[in-house]
Structure 1
Amino acid sequence: MNKIFILLGTNLGDRLRQLLRAKQALEKQVGEILMASSIYETAAWGVEDQPAFLNQVILIKSGLSPMDCLNRTQQIESDLGRVRLKKWGQRAIDIDLLYFNDEIVNYPNLIIPHPFISERRFTLAPLAEIAPDYIHPVYKKNNVYLLHNCKDELPVKKISNDEPYRH
């Protein structure tokens, strides 16, 4: 079984409900959620003139390949109302594959580890919460090290725990 770290993000509509709906869909279509970080409210990154995001990292156990996982997560995004109008723009849901086991994947439409992990505090804070010692397969540094050395200064605030997924 593969272990996949996934970042969820949303800044439109009922954000908490969108995260819940995404997790439910991922459990049905991708695999079992083993762990979930707290939920963080974060400033928009890339295109900053938009509402704040809720972000969360989950760990899923799945038998899917990286490409099958990407295809399913993109379908879930579409099903939950994601419309791709502008890169890094507002969205009902965003599902990013961060790590896939300790593999390095480089396809035209899929790069794992996610190429912006080390540049985004909104990704690293929840990732370091649930996988502090996980070693980035390219940088050979753990998530806590990457977080402490991240140059992103946008605010990231923990707003709630996700108790159902704490094991």
Structure 2
Amino acid sequence: MPVRAYIGLGSNLDAPAEQLRSALQALDQIAGTRLVATSALYTSDSLLPGQPRYTNAVAALDTDLAPLALLDALQGIENDQGRVRKERWGPRTLDLDVLLFGDQLIDVPRLKVPHYHLHARPFVLYPLAELVPDDFHLADGRSLAQLLQDCPFVGLERL
């Protein structure tokens, strides 16, 4: 039975909105995976000074893949779209993060789910809120409503 996974998308290089649109098409082509829904696109300032603004979105996928197999597929899409991993927080053509994977808590060296910075990133929380029910709770018990209340819609622009 497929698992619902939520994927964060971000880009701040080489026509970011087009990068995200291409990535969404690629997500729908992953074997054993179906793109179910997509949030609106948002722009936000970079977390680090001096970088271009980011464009972000969240996608909901139904997948038969195991979490690390999905992560491998996401990293393949990033690579196909020119992602260069020179520095951890550097500018990028595409960043794809597994935010949530069903109701699983995952803590392995390559993957932490729920995503470890989810609670502090409005550019992830607000697009995610478009795709989940109002009473949604993360696998660790936190409610999305409380996370949104603690992380105001500041610095975001919905496109």
> Which range, TM-score by smaller chain?
over 0.9
**Is 1:66 paired with 2:67?**
yes
Counterpart among 40, 64, 79 of residue 38 in structure 1: 40
Letter in 2 for 1:66: P
SS of the residue corresponding to residue 71 of structure 1 reads helix
Q: Secondary structure at the match of 1:146?
A: helix
Runs of at least 4 residues of structure 1 off by over 2 A?
none
How far apart are the structure 2 equivalents of 1:23 and 1:29?
10
The aligned counterpart of 2:28 is 27
How far apart are 1:156 and its partner, in Å? Answer: 0.9
Counting aligned pairs with the same residue, the percent is: 33
Deviation of residue 154 (structure 1)?
5.0
Pairs aligned (count): 156
Counterpart residue type for residue 156 of structure 1: L
Using the size of structure 2 for normalisation, the TM-score is: 0.93
Instruction: Return 5+ residue gaps in structure 2 as ranges.
Output: none
Is 1:150 paired with 2:151?
Answer: yes
Q: 1:64 to 1:128 in 2, by over 3 A?
A: same
Deviates more, 1:59-68 or 1:47-56: 47-56
C-alpha distance after superposition, 1:31-82 (max 9, x if no partner): 211111110011112x232000000001001100001000110111011100
**CA displacement 1:105-151 (0-9 Å, x = unmatched):** 1111111110000011111111112214321112x222222011127
The one-letter code of the counterpart of 1:18 is Q
Question: 1:113 — aligned with what?
Answer: 114
* 1:120-131 paired onto structure 2 within 5 Å: 120-131=121-132
Aligned partner letter, 2:5: I
C-alpha separation in 2, matches of 1:23 and 1:128: 18
1:20 shift after superposition:
1.0
- Aligned partner letter, 2:100: Y
Can you give the 5+ residue segments of structure 1 that lack an aligned partner in the other structure?
A: 160-167
Using the TM superposition, name which of 140-149 and 4-13 deviates more. Answer: 140-149
Equivalents in 2 of 1:133, 1:157: separation in Å?
24
Residue of structure 2 equivalent to 1:85: 86
Paired with 1:48 and 1:106, the residues of 2 have a C-alpha distance of 30
Residue 99 of structure 2 corresponds to which residue in structure 1?
98
RMSD: 1.4
Which letter maps to 1:5? Y
CA contact (8 A) 1:43 1:154 kept: no
Distance, in Å, in 1 between the alignment partners of 2:21 and 2:158 is 17
CA distance in 2: counterparts of 1:125 and 1:48, whole angstroms = 22
